[in-house]
């Protein structure tokens, strides 16, 4: 009996689920027994869900190691394309096995002993590679064509809240709303947009109320809720082509835990929004709620606390005017207290291969926070300014709402499709149309009518009630007087909410800051100093400070003669800068 190994592979997840790899293995075992080979169980290698266009596969790696050790005489594979879909890889593997005296035998291909048989095997490899590229391109173009035609088939599965109904002889595939799950989706959007809960808090809320997931087995996690809030299908427009395949940029921790192997050598990344193809589906929420959630996601991406133990007023709003990088908070400790700074990301040497890209100096947090907050309080003391901004936003809201002409066009189109449906029914009643033709034409008209009706409903729901704005405008002076009274006792989190209503971002320069307001034409330029003063003095951790002696006296690791000699030595800086007698107590 000659020792041999078996190798089988399937690439798609559908083949993996249908266990087609077992049929390959069974055929190989039967053939090897007929040919007189012995196959130990540990020498049956299977790669499920791995593409034939890559070489890094766990089963193939073990097989190649076994061939190098010289323990096998032959390798049995179902067909050349199971070994690899690329001709170059096929040649590489065949030559490698031949160098170690291992024959590669295929059930669906003759043994390549003669030059003619070797040429035939090479042709099979090239045809398999061509076939793979052709199938991928045809599939891509076919899916895009069906997506542009509004076919739901290209989306296959349905998100939470829907059930995917497959195409039948009487109707196309469509999404069926599961009302129980749809209520959960609406509740998630309500918790996020109205109750101001975080994504993590929403996941905890769902688990605490024992709301079942799609499978009913797992628990709600943050990524699931995040994906739900970003899915445009819930507003009535499912999208095809949202992501594209790209080369894998890094090896993630789960990959390292699996030994560095991945079923795919690529990763997905999001494509530009204009490349998405929209397909109408039944809406679960109105467009206004989805737009509000999208806006809040973008806002939270920028202003997220990111595990900040002690929140700061200007967190996520500071931008360096010189290099465009954001400012982050850092700190140092003296003998008496801890001092916080805002520091530009571009000024850190360790972040960039060639050193820092910006010469901006760190800024004391307490002074900068005070300058900006006092400026915001002065803005709020002007009732006319706030009243004008409210009026401007009301007017902008009116202009943003779809016009009556657009609504009238939708109503007209809805009536037209309704008439078409009635005509088909009348034609069927008068025996002018067969039942098969009615079944074929009716679902598309019904689907289009429902889409227009849901769009009309979304437009009606998107109109914001003006009474809320008017009520705030009537009581604006009372509101500002209360705000001035409690401004000094507000917490940092409450100050953040007020600040972010008025300020979009803050540009920090060496000696000045520019505050860009949410109110158009209201940008302010202020001197960078305590309480609106001039320059700030040098501080600890302040690289490039204007007082070198002050900076050097607290610089860890700097050469300081007074720490190494019994008597004082005159340093080079003492002739240029005065002595600092009590630095810890000096500002």
Query: How far is CA 304 from each of CA 228, 298, 314, 448, 494, rounded to the nearest angstrom?
Result: 19, 10, 12, 41, 15
Cα separation, 284 vs 266, whole angstroms? 34
Mean per-residue pLDDT, 114-119: 64
Please tell me the distance from the alpha carbon of residue 89 to that of residue 54, in angstroms, as a whole number. 8
Report which of 553, 531, 525, 530 is spatially closest to residue 541, judged by C-alpha positions. Answer: 553
Q: Which CATH class is domain 2-145?
A: alpha beta
Cβ neighbours for 268, distance < 8 A, ≥ 6 positions apart: 243, 244, 245, 246
Half-sphere exposure of 68 toward its Cβ, with a 13 Å CA cutoff? Answer: 7
pLDDT: which is higher, 153 or 381: 153
d(CA 109, CA 28): 13
* CA-based radius of gyration for the chain: 34
Instruction: For residues 396 and 383, give the distance between their C-alpha atoms in angstroms, rounded to a whole number.
Output: 20
Q: What is the mean pLDDT of the chain?
A: 76
Note the helical H segments in 401-517.
404-429, 435-461, 466-474, 476-486, 492-502
261 or 561: which leads in pLDDT: 261
Tokens of 374: 């006092």
pLDDT for the residue 320: 92
Q: For residue 406, is pLDDT > 80?
A: no
What's residue 307's pLDDT? 62
Element spanning 25, H or E: helix 20-35
Please report which confidence band the pLDDT of residue 205 belongs to, taking 50, 70 and 90 as the band edges.
Answer: very high
Question: Would the pTM count as exceeding 0.85?
Answer: no
Mean pLDDT of 264-269: 62
Least confident of 124-128, 354-358, 374-378, 396-400: 396-400
Is the separation of the CB atoms in 85 and 132 below 8 Å?
A: yes
The CA-CA-CA angle for residues 12, 14, 19, to 5°, reads 100
Q: Which residue has the tokens 């097989």?
A: 63
Question: Greater confidence, 119 or 375?
Answer: 375
Residue 197 CA, distance from chain mean position: 20
Helix (H) or strand (E) holding 99: helix 87-99
Domain 153-248+266-303 sits in CATH at 3.90.1750.20
Q: For residue 350, is pLDDT > 60? A: yes
Instruction: Return the closest-CA partner of residue 372 out of 537, 524, 519, 522.
Output: 524
pLDDT at site 178: 92
Phi, psi of 181 (to 5 degrees): -75, -35
Length of the chain: 587
Residue 330 has pLDDT above 70, yes or no: yes
């Amino acid at each position: 009996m000659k020792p041999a190994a078996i190798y089988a592979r399937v690439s798609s997840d559908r083949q993996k689920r249908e266990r087609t790899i077992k049929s390959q293995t069974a055929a190989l075992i039967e053939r090897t027994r007929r040919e007189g080979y012995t196959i130990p169980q540990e020498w049956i290698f299977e790669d499920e869900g791995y593409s034939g266009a890559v070489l890094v596969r766990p089963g193939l790696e073990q097989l190649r190691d076994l061939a190098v050790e010289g323990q096998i005489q032959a390798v049995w594979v179902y067909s050349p394309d199971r070994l690899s879909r690329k001709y170059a890889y096929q040649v590489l593997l065949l030559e490698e096995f031949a160098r170690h005296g291992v024959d590669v035998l295929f059930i669906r291909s003759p043994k390549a002993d003669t030059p003619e048989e070797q040429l035939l095997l090479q042709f099979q490899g090239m045809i398999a590679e061509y076939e793979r590229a052709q199938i991928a391109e045809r599939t891509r173009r076919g899916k895009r064509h069906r997506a542009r035609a509004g076919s739901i088939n290209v989306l296959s599965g349905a998100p939470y809240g829907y059930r995917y109904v497959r195409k039948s002889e009487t109707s196309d595939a469509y999404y069926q709303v599961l009302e129980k799950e749809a209520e959960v989706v609406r509740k998630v959007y309500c918790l996020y947009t109205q109750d101001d809960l975080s994504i993590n808090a929403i996941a905890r809320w769902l688990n605490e109320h024992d709301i079942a997931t799609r499978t009913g087995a797992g628990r709600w996690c943050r990524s699931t809720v995040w994906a739900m809030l970003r899915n445009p299908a819930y507003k009535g427009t499912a999208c095809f082509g949202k992501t594209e395949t790209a080369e894998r940029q890094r090896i993630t921790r789960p990959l390292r835990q699996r030994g560095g192997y991945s079923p795919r050598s690529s990763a997905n990344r999001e494509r530009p929004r204009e490349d998405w193809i929209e397909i109408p589906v039944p809406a679960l929420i109105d467009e206004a709620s989805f737009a509000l959630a999208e806006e809040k996601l973008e806002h939270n991406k920028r202003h997220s606390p990111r595990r900040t133990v002690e929140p700061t007023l200007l967190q996520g709003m500071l931008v360096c005017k010189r290099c465009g990088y954001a400012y982050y908070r850092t700190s140092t400790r003296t003998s008496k207290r801890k001092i916080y700074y805002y520091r530009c990301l571009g000024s850190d040497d360790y972040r960039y291969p060639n050193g820092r890209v910006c010469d901006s100096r760190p800024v004391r947090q307490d002074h900068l926070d005070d300058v900006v907050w006092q400026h915001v309080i002065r803005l709020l003391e002007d009732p006319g300014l706030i009243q004008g901004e409210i009026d401007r936003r009301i007017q902008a809201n009116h202009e943003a709402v779809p016009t009556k002409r657009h609504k009238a066009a939708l109503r007209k189109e809805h009536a037209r499709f309704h008439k078409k449906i009635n005509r088909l029914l009348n034609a069927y009643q008068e025996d002018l149309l067969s039942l098969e033709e009615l079944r074929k034409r009716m679902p598309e008209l019904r689907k289009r009518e429902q889409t227009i009706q849901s769009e009309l409903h979304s437009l009606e729901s998107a109109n914001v009630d003006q009474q809320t704005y008017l009520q705030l405008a009537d009581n604006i002076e009372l509101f500002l007087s209360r705000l001035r009274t409690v401004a000094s006792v507000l917490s940092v989190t409450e100050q953040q909410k007020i600040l972010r209503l008025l300020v979009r971002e803050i540009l920090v320069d060496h000696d000045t800051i520019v505050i860009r307001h949410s109110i158009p034409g209201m940008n302010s330029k202020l001197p960078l100093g305590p309480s609106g003063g001039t320059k700030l003095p040098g501080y600890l951790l302040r690289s490039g400070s204007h007082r070198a002696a002050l900076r050097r006296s607290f610089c860890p690791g700097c050469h300081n003669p007074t720490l190494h000699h019994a008597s004082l030595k005159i340093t080079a800086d003492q002739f240029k800068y005065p002595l600092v007698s009590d630095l810890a107590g000096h500002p």
